[in-house]
Structure 1
Amino acid sequence: MSGLVDWDFAVNLGARVAGDGPAVQADVAAATVAELRAGADRSTGLVREFTGLVAAEHTAPVLVVDRRGWVQANADGFATIIEPMIARVNEKKGASPSGLSVAIGSRVTGAEVGLLLGFLGTKVLGQFDPFHDPSGRLLLVAPNIVHVEREIGADPTDFRLWVCLHEETHRVQFTAVPWMRDHLFSEMTALTQSIEPTRLAEDAVRRISEAVRGGGSLMDVMSTPEQREILDRITGVMSLLEGHADVVMDGVGPSVIPSVDKIRRSFNERRKGIGTLDRVLRRLLGLDAKMAQYRDGASFVNQVVDKVGMEQFNAVWASPANLPSKAEIEDPAAWITRVL
């Protein structure tokens, strides 16, 4: 695997780019970690009561991490996802990675991954990693949570529980729906297997230039028709997961988070990006599309639940065939007609 990406270099660079985050005294940091752990535990029952999804408690560890810890966890996740592609390439090229290293440059690729993780490592508040054995793990990025709550002037206790509700919903989605992990992994594998690694380096500059000029993301200009089909399916799933989590955090919020309305208004404004450079990077990395997943997915969930109720909506978790397509995310009535 080191022949394709220098993962140690990627992590070290990503950690340097991300930095440490806001300065926090040791006792405040310890209290923050304790409050986030307690918020994750408290969220389990709240999510179950609101959604009707039953997931065993404590099946996935809750890790309160710093920015470097998040970068390391995601480098590990990337390595797991692209392993099938590396195996395929090594089978074609032979066991020795030297030829592949010359063609791509593991250190150059490591730098690209590191810069990406470093930028994202300053933005992400939490994440459920479904591919970590055996049952996934929940990551809460304490420095970023503290940074955002200060930036938007949120009540720290309220904001931390609000974030925990969103991330705990993801844990419930993957643990209460046991086929979800394998389904999403198979889609990711199909995407990586469709990529021709030897062309990544030679086309990188051209593709970045096209993305900047065209106002799209790197994924837009790197996608073949086959990849777009896979991306559409993944987009449908991710929109469902992210939108569902947003609906839960806002639906549960009023009963346990007094300032939830203020938090949502401030947070939505912040999601638009701060400054020209930040907006350009968000567009290039596809984060604008990620924000659309939250918005469109939440609209899908709300419209279906308003029409048929949460119990019938939960048919979406019955099998992969019941997942909404990207088109159905934008047309909830079509999903209702097809599935219900």
Structure 2
Amino acid sequence: MGLYRSMRAVTGASGSGAIDWSAVAEATKAATDPGSLDIDDAEREGYATDVRDARNRVREVSGIDFDLPETVEIINRHHWTDNNVETFERVMAPLEDHVGMFPSAARKINSGTMTVALSFLARNVLGQYDPLLLAEGVGADEHALYFVHPNIQRVADTLDADNDRFRRWIAFHEVTHAAEFGAAPWLPGHLETRMEQAVDRLADGDVDRETLGELDTTMTAVEGYAELLMDRAFDDEYEDLREELEKRRQGRGPVQKLIRRVLGLSMKRRQYERGKDFFDSVADARGIEYAGKVWEQPENLPSDDEIEEPGLWLQRMD
């Protein structure tokens, strides 16, 4: 019944844009079990404690004074969908006037493609730090932190991991991103500008490889620094969790692997690895607080060559 409702929503896509976002939201939720948010007070307090502990520990290790997002929510898959449909709509707005020669057919195809992508993400995202990029009327310092509880519970059970430990690991990882954006108030605007440039060029039928390369390098720094802080701040060994999670990803079927590739999730894994190697080298050479110089100004971001050769970045900073 859910699949039927999902297909009906997509085939009924209407409007004047390239994508019917209302249809996408309806179809995604029809195809996705929302999952249970039936958690007791102890577990709810566990989330809050994990986030507070992560903030305090990351502050101590990094030397960065940052605040937690005012919005910290435990959500289900449908809540995640509603939040992210709005984000995707904002990011892809420049494409709205480019629906091709057959607008009705193109709109249905585009809406169906977005439904597949969002359905996959809704079932797999565990936690999300959201700096609310491209949101009209939202200040540059506004951000949110979400935990998709049904996904966290399912993955912990699949990995046969201790639920409290796995939840705490996810909390620490997301809070490290809050630390980065807290250290670099310029970072949201930096990402927004390049995202808009890349999408504008795409709307004109061109691929802005230079801007996309800059985005990839910046996100490599973002993910790598988060890994550095996790290694230093988390109060337990967690390599077993990372290894088991990676095995689970590698063990997916061909369709899931294809979706991950199309969504760029394989590239995200590469960003983690390259960024972690860069910041490990910097921290080993100068200390973890020195590594935080990356966030002092946009000019301090490493280039792609510097990520491969951290010594080049150190020479430039000295």
Say whether residues 1:17 and 2:24 are aligned partners.
no
Tell me which amino acid in the other structure corresponds to 1:9.
Answer: A
Q: 3-state SS of the aligned residue for 2:74?
A: strand
Residue-by-residue CA offset, 1:49-72 (whole Å, 9 max, x unaligned): 111111134x43112111111122
Equivalent position of 1:242 in the other structure: 223
Equivalent position of 2:47 in the other structure: 36
Tell me which amino acid in the other structure corresponds to 1:26.
Answer: D
CA distance in structure 2 between the partners assigned to 1:266 and 1:306 by the alignment? 27
Instruction: Report deviation, 1:48.
Output: 0.8
How has the CA–CA distance of structure 1 residues 246 and 271 changed in structure 2, closer, same or farther, with 3 Å as cutoff?
farther
Instruction: Report deviation, 1:163.
Output: 0.5
Asked if 1 retains the 8 angstrom alpha-carbon contact of 2:37 and 2:75, the reply is: no
How has the CA–CA distance of structure 1 residues 336 and 267 changed in structure 2, closer, same or farther, with 3 Å as cutoff?
same
Asked if 1 retains the 8 angstrom alpha-carbon contact of 2:70 and 2:143, the reply is: yes
Q: 3-state SS of the aligned residue for 1:62?
A: strand
How has the CA–CA distance of structure 1 residues 308 and 110 changed in structure 2, closer, same or farther, with 3 Å as cutoff?
same
Asked if 2 retains the 8 angstrom alpha-carbon contact of 1:152 and 1:266, the reply is: yes
Equivalent position of 2:8 in the other structure: none
Equivalent position of 1:206 in the other structure: none
Asked if 1 retains the 8 angstrom alpha-carbon contact of 2:18 and 2:103, the reply is: no
- Structure with higher helix content: 1
The 5-angstrom pairing of residues 271-310 of structure 1 reads 271-310=249-288
Q: 3-state SS of the aligned residue for 1:121?
A: helix
Residue-by-residue CA offset, 1:286-307 (whole Å, 9 max, x unaligned): 2111111111111111111111
Instruction: Report deviation, 1:110.
Output: 2.0
CA distance in structure 1 between the partners assigned to 2:190 and 2:302 by the alignment? 14
The 5-angstrom pairing of residues 1-340 of structure 1 reads 3-21=17-35, 26-28=38-40, 31-57=42-68, 59-84=69-94, 86=96, 89=97, 102=103, 105-131=106-132, 133-134=138-139, 135-196=142-203, 224=207, 227-253=208-234, 256-257=235-236, 260-340=238-318
- Structure 2 length-normalised TM: 0.84
CA distance in structure 2 between the partners assigned to 1:25 and 1:308 by the alignment? 44
Instruction: Report deviation, 1:181.
Output: 0.7
How has the CA–CA distance of structure 1 residues 320 and 27 changed in structure 2, closer, same or farther, with 3 Å as cutoff?
closer
Tell me which amino acid in the other structure corresponds to 1:337.
Answer: Q
How has the CA–CA distance of structure 1 residues 31 and 12 changed in structure 2, closer, same or farther, with 3 Å as cutoff?
farther
- Structure 1 length-normalised TM: 0.79
How has the CA–CA distance of structure 1 residues 177 and 25 changed in structure 2, closer, same or farther, with 3 Å as cutoff?
closer
Q: 3-state SS of the aligned residue for 1:194?
A: helix
Segment of structure 1 superposing worse, 308-317 or 161-170: 308-317
Instruction: Report deviation, 1:107.
Output: 3.7
CA distance in structure 1 between the partners assigned to 2:83 and 2:201 by the alignment? 25
CA distance in structure 1 between the partners assigned to 2:77 and 2:127 by the alignment? 11
Tell me which amino acid in the other structure corresponds to 1:283.
Answer: R
How has the CA–CA distance of structure 1 residues 189 and 271 changed in structure 2, closer, same or farther, with 3 Å as cutoff?
same
Asked if 2 retains the 8 angstrom alpha-carbon contact of 1:17 and 1:115, the reply is: no
Instruction: Report deviation, 1:272.
Output: 2.8
Segment of structure 1 superposing worse, 46-55 or 106-115: 106-115
Residue-by-residue CA offset, 1:92-141 (whole Å, 9 max, x unaligned): xxxxxx99982774343222112111111111111111125340111111
Residue-by-residue CA offset, 1:317-339 (whole Å, 9 max, x unaligned): 11111111233222222222223
Tell me which amino acid in the other structure corresponds to 1:151.
Answer: T
Instruction: Report deviation, 1:75.
Output: 1.2
Asked if 1 retains the 8 angstrom alpha-carbon contact of 2:94 and 2:203, the reply is: no
Q: CA RMSD in A?
A: 2.6
CA distance in structure 1 between the partners assigned to 2:37 and 2:303 by the alignment? 47
> Any gaps of 5 or more consecutive residues in structure 2?
1-14
Asked if 1 retains the 8 angstrom alpha-carbon contact of 2:77 and 2:123, the reply is: yes
How has the CA–CA distance of structure 1 residues 236 and 27 changed in structure 2, closer, same or farther, with 3 Å as cutoff?
closer
CA distance in structure 2 between the partners assigned to 1:181 and 1:149 by the alignment? 32
CA distance in structure 1 between the partners assigned to 2:276 and 2:100 by the alignment? 46
Asked if 2 retains the 8 angstrom alpha-carbon contact of 1:4 and 1:105, the reply is: yes
How has the CA–CA distance of structure 1 residues 104 and 330 changed in structure 2, closer, same or farther, with 3 Å as cutoff?
farther
> Any gaps of 5 or more consecutive residues in structure 1?
91-97, 200-222
Asked if 1 retains the 8 angstrom alpha-carbon contact of 2:117 and 2:259, the reply is: no
Asked if 1 retains the 8 angstrom alpha-carbon contact of 2:37 and 2:76, the reply is: no
